[in-house]
Amino acid sequence: MQTDHITDIWDRVVGVQPDPSLWLVIATGVLALGAVVPHSLWRLSRNAVTIAHEGGHGLVALLTGRRLQGIRLHSDTSGLTVSRGKPTGPGMVLTAAAGYTAPSLLGLAGAALLAAGHITALLWGATALLVAMLIMIRNAYGVLTVVLAGAAFLLVSLLTTPYVQAAFAYAVVWFLLLGGVRPPFELMGKRRRGGPGDSDPDQLARLTHVPAGVWLGFFHVVTLCSLMGGGRWMLGI
C-alpha cells in the first residue's frame, strides 16, 4: 500500500495537468501586477523577490565551486549572501550577476513548466528549493519568511484542488516575472540620486572593469526579455 501511495505521488509530480482557461492565466497576471505596482503592497511582496535574489546568489556560488557561508534576509526586504573562495574570476562574477537576474530566470523556467502542463512539478520543485535554501539561512527573520513561503507551496500542492493549484502556480510565476523587472529600475533610481556604490553592478564593475551602468542595462535586458518570453508561453501566443 505504501509503495502504491509513493507511486501515485510520483505520477502526480511528473505527470501533465490540464491547461487552465485563458481567463485564469490573465486574471492571475493582473493579480500579480497588483502586488508589484502599488508601493504599499510592494513593500511586503518584495520579500519574495529578495528570497529569489539571494537564493540566486547562493545557488550560483555553489555551482561555481564557491563555499556558501550563509544567507540573511531582512525585514526591509534587503538581503546578504556570503560565500568564500577566490575573490576574482568567473565564479565570483557569475555569483554577483545572479541576484538581479534570478527572480526573472526562475519565472521563465516556471513559465516553461506551466506551458508544458507540469503544474505539480513546479509546486514541488519550488518547495524543494526553499527547503534547500532554509539550511543556509542565518537569521530568524530569514527563517520565518522561507518557512512561510515553503509551507504555502506545500499546503497548496497537498490540500487544494487542481484548479486552485493552477491559479496559485500561475500567480507565482507571473509575480516572479513582473517582480523581477522592478528592482533594476529601483536601483537605477538610487544611483541617479547618488546612492552608495556597493550594489551588485558596482561590485561587477570592480571585478570586470565593465561600467556598472552596462551591468545594470544587462539586468534590464534579462528581466524584460524573461517577462516577454514567459508571458508568451503562459498565454500560448
* Residue 192 lies inside a defined structural domain of this protein: yes
Domain span at 119: 17-235
Radius of gyration of the chain (CA): 18
* Residue 61 lies inside a defined structural domain of this protein: yes
The count of structural domains within the chain is: 1
Rounded to whole angstroms, the Cα distance separating 230 from 223 reads 10
* Residue 193 lies inside a defined structural domain of this protein: yes
Give 71-113 pLDDT, tens digit per residue: 999 999 999 999 999 989 999 999 999 999 999 999 999 999 9
* Residue 7 lies inside a defined structural domain of this protein: no
- Which of 55, 88, 127, 41 lies closest to 205 in space, CA to CA? 88
* Residue 169 lies inside a defined structural domain of this protein: yes
Phi, psi angle pair for 60, to nearest 5°: -70, -35
* Residue 109 lies inside a defined structural domain of this protein: yes
Confidence of residue 1 (pLDDT cuts 50, 70, 90): very low
Confidence of residue 148 (pLDDT cuts 50, 70, 90): very high
pTM: 0.93
Please report which helix (H) or strand (E) contains residue 103, including its range: helix 90-115
- DSSP for 152-180, please give it: HHHHHHHHS-HHHHHHHHHHHHHHHHHHT
